[in-house]
Amino acid sequence: MADNIENIIEGCRRKEPNAQRELYETFSGKMFGVCLRYAGSYQDAEDVLHEGFLKIFEKIYQFQSRGSFEGWIRRIMVNTALEKYRNQYKVINIQDNIKEPEYDSFEDLTDNITAKELTEFIQALSPKYRIVFNLYAIEGYSHKEISEMLNISEGTSKSNLSRARAILQDKVYKYYSRSIRVETL
């Protein structure tokens, strides 16, 4: 697999159409998953995927083959998405007192929720919540790093994350409750 990826990357560096197509087929699914999480709609996600892959093919010569290639293209996708929503997550956030709902076991609640449904919940968040949640919870950036990346304060980042978490938990809970009701009926 690793050798195959290396061959694909080399082919892409030489701008070979077959290699480019193979690379797309290998990673388009996962990358579309990334795009869907950052984008507000399916159409927006498709746009990010499109732009992101063009950027990947253009910049693939910069990849040094020493780290994770998937990590590299994932970062390009994330950056492309950030670029798209740049004007939307700079909205000044008012520090609202968010009280996160408390549930018995979030893990239990999410057991029956598919990744597609969870992605839709994230998509439904406003950009400022969605982006921060993705960067912190899924990509692993700290609030300080996020504040630098998005040019917002750390407090705003924390606040947005907290709010995003609360909304998601609420959505999951409501979804779970609905599912229970349907099963009961």
Partner 1 sequence: MNEERKHIDNIIRDKLFNYSPPPPPGAWKKIEADLNQSKNRFLTSPLLRIVAVIAVITGLTAATLFYVNNRQTPLRDIATNATESPDNNLVNQSVNHKLTEERKVENTNIQKRYIKEKNLPVTSTNTREISFDRKENISFVTEIKIAEDEIVNENSNYKLIPNNNVVFNDTTNTEYIVQPEVKRSNQFITEDKPDLIADLSRNAEKFKPRSLQWLIGGQFGPQYSYTKAFQENVIRQVNDYEEKESAVVAYAGGFNVQMQPSKRFSVQSGVYYSKIGTSVSATRSVSPTSSLNLPEPEFVLVDTGRSPGSQPVIIATFNYSDNSSGKYISPEVYLSRQNSELKAEQYSEYVEIPLVLKYKIVDKKLDINISGGVWTHFLISSKTVIVGENNYLSRTVSDRTENINSFDYSGSLGLGIDYPVSPNILVNLNPVFKYYLSSDNSRSGLKPYTFGIMTGFSYSF
CA distance 123 to 32: 13
Binding to partner 1, residues 113-172 (CB under 8 A): 113, 115-116, 118-119, 122, 136-142, 144-145, 148, 165, 168-169
Sign of CA dihedral 108, 109, 114, 120: negative
Report the C-alpha gap between 30 and 28 in whole angstroms. 6
Instruction: For residue 170, report the phi and psi dihedrals to the nearest 5 degrees.
Output: -65, -45
Report, in Å, the least distance between residue 182 CB and partner 1: 21
Answer for which of 106, 153, 170, 173 binds partner 1 (CB under 8 A) is 106
Number of residues near partner 1 (by CB under 8 A): 63
Q: How many CA atoms lie within 13 A of 184 on its CB side?
A: 6
Q: Does 71 bind partner 1 (CB under 8 A)?
A: yes
Binds partner 1 (CB under 8 A): choice among 6, 18, 75, 177: 75
Provide, rounded to whole angstroms, the least separation between the CB of residue 28 and partner 1.
4
Smaller CB separation from partner 1, 12 or 128:
12
Cα gap 160→150, rounded to integer Å = 12
Contact 60, 76 (CB under 8 A): no
Token representation of residue 83? 């670029």
**Closest CB to partner 1 among residues 136, 176:** 136
Query: What is the rounded CA–CA span in Å between residue 51 and residue 47?
Result: 6
Residue holding tokens 């029956």?
112
Q: Which residues bind partner 1 (CB under 8 A)?
A: 13, 15, 17, 20-21, 24-25, 28-33, 36-37, 42, 46, 49-51, 53-55, 57-59, 61-64, 66-68, 70-72, 74-75, 79, 83, 100, 106-107, 110, 113, 115-116, 118-119, 122, 136-142, 144-145, 148, 165, 168-169
